[in-house]
Amino acid sequence: MLHFVLTTGKCNLRCNYCGGSFPEHAVPFEITYDLAQLERFIEADPAPIVAFYGGEPLLNPKAIARIMDTVKAKFVIQTNGTLVEGLSPEHWRRMDAVLMSIDGTEKTTDAYRGNGIYRRVMKSARALREWGFNGDLIARMAVSERTDIYGDVMHLIGLGMFDHVHWQLDVGWSDAWIDFDGWVEASYKPGIRRLVARFRKGLADGSVLGMVPILGILKRLREGGSSPPCGSGTESFAIMPDGVIRACPISYDAEWAVAGNIKQSTLATLPRKGILGECLECSHLRGCGGRCLYMNRERFWGEEGFRKICALTKYTIDEVSTLIEAVDEAKRGKLVDIELLDYPPFNNSTEIVP
């Protein structure tokens, strides 16, 4: 099970698709429950994965260090990459995966996240490597209207700093878009097609490019997987700073998302919250998994907006599925390291479907 542990609702940045901290009354800026209760809860899980999340989780490095020193688990962190000095090199070395927010080139990243952020994040990524972190370093991109998906993904891959690049569309709740439809047709869809072609060329040349959505969708098409791919509500839960357990870490104000409380609940008694509605009949369910539980339940863009996002998801899955033959050929011919195609190796909190 994946346990998102929110160490704070506060963030030190105000990126323009997120706006910064959660409201403090809803997601406190400090952990207000006894950490021993959390540790007991996680210890009851035979295969726990703990993903530190916020706000910016490194605003509370003491809680991270304490949990890492107390429970046996795989450890993941999703961070904006500006406060890495708060945690000791020894703790960084014990992380299995680090998801660092960076949106592509310096121009794209700084436009979304603020001047100088790209350089700070790159400095942090270098520091982690110098401190001996040799887990999976994942560039986590938020994708919006300024993004050139092909150029920004290939920029991050070309740096050679990150093992993987994951991107997530800023769709479904953002009202910052000026021309979503125009951007999809003129920029995003052609970019996806080029990324798929680039991945195919990589296979022929003997390399597996670390594009998480492509690798993850291929794995789902091959083996199936949880619904939604992040596991929210069934194989993943979020423990908020006040101890409330929710189906997904961003569902802080949704009644349907409340699953329990760290003080009373046990893993066995947590009610499961699955994907509902048209997803269950969808031709692309195997690859998509319903994409996102929060979006499945909350339709901030209305039904038409939901269908637009689905059309884009289906386009992406159809493009990725054209790679199946090339992947099989690369496996048969032992052209690539087959293990690299088995991604993610565990639920490392990448949502797979952008």
In the bound state with ligand SF4, the residue whose beta carbon lies nearer, of 38 and 230, is 230
Binding-site ranges for ligand SF4 (CB under 6 A): 228, 230, 232, 248-250, 278-279, 282, 284-285, 288, 290-294, 310, 313-314, 351
CB of 236 to ligand SF4, least distance (A): 7
CB of 174 to ligand SF4, least distance (A): 13
In the bound state with ligand SF4, the residue whose beta carbon lies nearer, of 121 and 282, is 282
CB of 286 to ligand SF4, least distance (A): 9
Phi and psi angles of residue 197, each rounded to the nearest 5 degrees, phi first: -65, -40
CB of 230 to ligand SF4, least distance (A): 3
CB of 352 to ligand SF4, least distance (A): 9
CB of 209 to ligand SF4, least distance (A): 23
Of 328, 293, 329, 290, the residue nearest 310 (C-alpha): 290
Tell me the angle at which helices 212-223 and 324-332 cross, rounded to the nearest 10 degrees.
80
55 cis-preceded (ω within 30 degrees of 0): yes
In the bound state with ligand SF4, the residue whose beta carbon lies nearer, of 24 and 278, is 278
In the bound state with ligand SF4, the residue whose beta carbon lies nearer, of 61 and 290, is 290
196: Cβ–Cβ under 8 A, 6 or more apart, which residues?
A: 214, 319, 320, 322, 323
Alpha carbon 59 to chain centroid, angstroms: 20
In order, the DSSP letters of 100-154 are EE--SSHHHHHHHH-TTHHHHHHHHHHHHHHTT--SEEEEEEEE-TT--HHHHHH
Give the C-alpha distances (Å, rounded to integers) separating 123 from 64, 83, 135: 21, 11, 17
CB of 332 to ligand SF4, least distance (A): 31
In the bound state with ligand SF4, the residue whose beta carbon lies nearer, of 21 and 313, is 313
In the bound state with ligand SF4, the residue whose beta carbon lies nearer, of 56 and 148, is 56
In the bound state with ligand SF4, the residue whose beta carbon lies nearer, of 191 and 228, is 228
Of 243, 236, 350, 232, the residue nearest 7 (C-alpha): 243
- Would you say 272 and 234 are in contact if contact means Cβ atoms under 8 Å apart? yes
